[in-house]
Amino acid sequence: METRRLRLLLELSRRGSMRDVADAMHLTTSTVSQQLAVLAKEAGATLLEPEGRRVRLTPAGRRLAEHAVTILAAVDAARLDLDPGAVPSGEVRVAGFATAVRRSLLPAAAVLARDHPRVRLRIHEHEPSEAFALLAADAVDLALTYDYNLAPAAFDATVETVPLWSAPWGLAVPAAAPGSGFADFATADWIVNSRNTADEEVVRTVASLEGVVARIAHRADSLDLVEDLIVAGLGVGLLPADRPAAPGVRLLPLPGTPALLRSWAVVRRGRAGWPPLALMLRLLRSVPTA
């Protein structure tokens, strides 16, 4: 059923005559009559019956008019909710990797709590492949993901991306180990992420350019655990250079092009205009990049 016809039926229930409805809606009486006849066919019920020279709603017509109140109110609420100029309100479901949650999402959450209490966050910690799967399934509204400049992600045409920040990464080695460059550790055992392959691609790319094959020995998701493994002398790995290394860990530059982790906010195409999500994207972009 078209909502414009439901509105005509509701107006008739309130005003009592086709002429009054036509005047109020800036239509001809004939148009109102024709549209209500179509509505009756759509509903599969008789909605009007003659009453002298006028018409009145049948019991089915009155029930449909009562439904029309709820239906039209819901449509109006939906239009307001989707209006780019509307006050943001609703629940935003976010899947993101831990660093982005801490660095980008928590500052944004503080602003929401202070200035936009009608917007609520639901936060799930996930690596990029997991977050993309949730986004594709419409299980989340926003994914915070990452790639590396040396292992760029290929974003699907069904999503829109917003760059947030980048951070340099370096080679993390035991502090007491001899050597001062990548070549001194290239043949060591390597520690890579257990839930994402991007850093492994970087390791293999850099090692290949140096003429060696990286030997992957251990996989760990937690950066703290990676550091513990390095301190224990079990291997080397990549770690962010913009945070202090743990005691017992030394960070060295990678050869060639600096390795940068790049953070992205990703939404399904066409969704970025939804007011709560548009607000979140603005807040995430406003978080300092350093």
Q: Which residues of the chain have pLDDT under 50?
A: none
We find that the CATH architecture of domain 90-165+262-286 is 3-Layer(aba) Sandwich (3.40)
Would you identify the CATH topology of the domain 167-258? D-Maltodextrin-Binding Protein; domain 2 (3.40.190)
Report how far apart, in Å, the C-alpha atoms of 223 and of each of 101, 135, 249 are. Answer: 15, 25, 12
Q: What is the pLDDT of residue 84?
A: 66
Q: What is the pLDDT of residue 35?
A: 94
- Comparing C-alpha atoms, which of 171, 167, 226 is closest to residue 194? 226
Q: What is the pLDDT of residue 192?
A: 97
Q: What is the pLDDT of residue 289?
A: 64
Q: Enumerate the CATH 1.10.10.10 domain ranges in the chain, comma separated.
A: 3-82
Q: Enumerate the CATH 3.40.190.10 domain ranges in the chain, comma separated.
A: 90-165+262-286, 167-258
Q: What is the pLDDT of residue 120?
A: 94
Q: What is the pLDDT of residue 252?
A: 95
Task: Specify whether the CB–CB gap between 260 and 169 falls below 8 A.
Answer: yes
Angle of CA points 82, 85, 89, to nearest 5°:
55
What is the residue whose two structure tokens read 């239509």? 27
In this prediction the pTM is 0.72
Report which residue type is found at 288.
P
- Comparing C-alpha atoms, which of 106, 254, 99 is closest to residue 180? 254
Q: What is the pLDDT of residue 156?
A: 85
Q: What is the pLDDT of residue 141?
A: 94
Phi/psi for 28 (5° steps) reads -90, 155
User: Burial of 213 by CB count in 10 Å (0-12 exposed, 13-18 middle, 19+ buried)?
Assistant: exposed
Q: What is the pLDDT of residue 5?
A: 93
Q: What is the pLDDT of residue 290?
A: 57
Would you identify the CATH topology of the domain 3-82? Arc Repressor Mutant, subunit A (1.10.10)
Of the CA atoms within 13 Å of residue 74, those in its CB half-sphere come to 7
H helical segments located in 44-145: 59-82, 98-100, 106-115, 128-136
Angle of CA points 33, 38, 41, to nearest 5°:
130
User: Burial of 29 by CB count in 10 Å (0-12 exposed, 13-18 middle, 19+ buried)?
Assistant: middle
Residues 6+ apart with CB under 8 A from 36: 5, 8, 9, 12, 47, 48
